[in-house]
């Protein structure tokens, strides 16, 4: 698969910037860009990362327990072997929305007492052995926990919040922000952030006049999220969970 730089090397209107989209405002300001007409944020791990076993994102292939998008900083192995049982439980429950988080966290802690947990399949087997038998028949039982650990490793929700704020600040009047999310935690954050921009006066209803001075900063372009149709799903099954939300800055 060609790299982004290779794919766009003949496009004179493209500039490839390596960085965290959480820093979008600073990255563009450094290049003399203070205003833009539109921003598209495609959130989450890429298919290339998922399909490259050695990156450690997949529970289907045996690989080092990494999960770092930038390949720098703390890895999934560091978190799995270094966090307390309560910290692991919190991450798995909040970021994976996994109701068996307590049992999975206890299982991880018990297993690492025998030796360091270093591979994806090793972790997947620990998760599998600490959930009820019926759960193992409903898709892979490691999916939610792997998602949770990946989010924690890359601090994805913090990056998303900063990225949304930075992108919105960059927009000129009439500029549009489009965001594609792939799981409910991301989508709820985007929905909440956009709802805040749509909101006008926040004074109590019994106030005779507005004293807060708050006015809407944006209007929705799509009142409901746009989802993939059957044609797109046939070509790209991973789009099944994707949701697109768009707002326009006033």
Residues 6+ apart with CB under 8 A from 214: 199, 200, 201, 202
Radius of gyration of the chain (CA): 21
45: pLDDT strictly greater than 80: no
Placement of tokens 């000129």 in the chain: 172
Instruction: Count CA within 13 A, CB hemisphere, residue 199.
Output: 12
The overall longest dimension of the chain from CA atoms, in Å, is: 68
pLDDT digits (tens, 9 = 90+) for 210-236: 888 888 999 999 989 999 999 999 998
In CATH terms, 47-154 corresponds, of 3.40.50.720, 3.40.630.30, 3.30.70.20, 1.10.150.170, to 1.10.150.170
Question: What are the boundaries of each domain within the chain?
Answer: 4-34+157-249, 47-154
How far is 185 from 94, CA to CA, in rounded Å?
A: 9
Q: Provide φ and ψ at 147, rounded to 5°.
A: -60, -45
Q: What CATH number labels 4-34+157-249?
A: 3.40.50.150
Dihedral angle sign, alpha carbons of residues 135, 81, 117, 156: positive
How does the average pLDDT of the chain come out, rounded?
Answer: 90
- Judged by DSSP in three states, 78 sits in helix
How far is 84 from 96, CA to CA, in rounded Å?
A: 17
Confidence category of residue 3, pLDDT binned at 50, 70, 90:
confident
pLDDT digits (tens, 9 = 90+) for 86-137: 999 999 999 999 999 999 999 999 999 999 999 999 999 999 999 888 877 7
């Amino acid at each position: 698969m060609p790299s982004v730089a290779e794919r766009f090397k003949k496009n004179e209107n493209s500039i490839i910037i390596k960085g965290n989209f959480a820093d979008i405002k600073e990255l563009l300001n450094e290049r003399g860009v203070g205003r833009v007409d539109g921003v598209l944020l495609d959130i989450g791990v890429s298919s290339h990362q998922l399909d490259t076993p050695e990156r450690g994102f997949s529970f289907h292939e045996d690989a080092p327990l990494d999960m770092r998008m930038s390949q720098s900083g703390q890895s999934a192995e560091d978190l799995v072997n270094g966090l307390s049982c309560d910290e692991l439980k919190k991450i798995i429950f909040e970021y994976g929305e996994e109701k068996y988080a307590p049992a999975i966290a206890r299982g991880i802690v018990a297993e690492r007492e025998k030796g360091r947990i270093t591979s994806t399949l090793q972790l997947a087997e620990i998760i599998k052995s600490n959930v009820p038998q019926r759960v193992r028949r409903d898709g892979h039982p490691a999916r939610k926990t792997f998602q949770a650990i990946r989010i924690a490793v890359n601090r994805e929700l913090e990056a998303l919040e900063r990225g949304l704020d930075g992108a919105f600040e960059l927009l000129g009047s009439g500029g549009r922000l489009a965001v594609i999310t792939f799981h409910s935690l991301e989508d709820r954050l985007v929905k909440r952030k956009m709802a805040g921009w749509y909101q006008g006066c926040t004074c109590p209803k019994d106030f005779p006049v507005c004293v807060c001075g708050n006015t809407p900063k944006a209007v929705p372009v799509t009142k409901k999220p746009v989802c993939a149709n059957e044609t797109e799903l046939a070509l790209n099954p991973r789009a099944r969970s994707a949701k697109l939300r768009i707002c326009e800055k006033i």
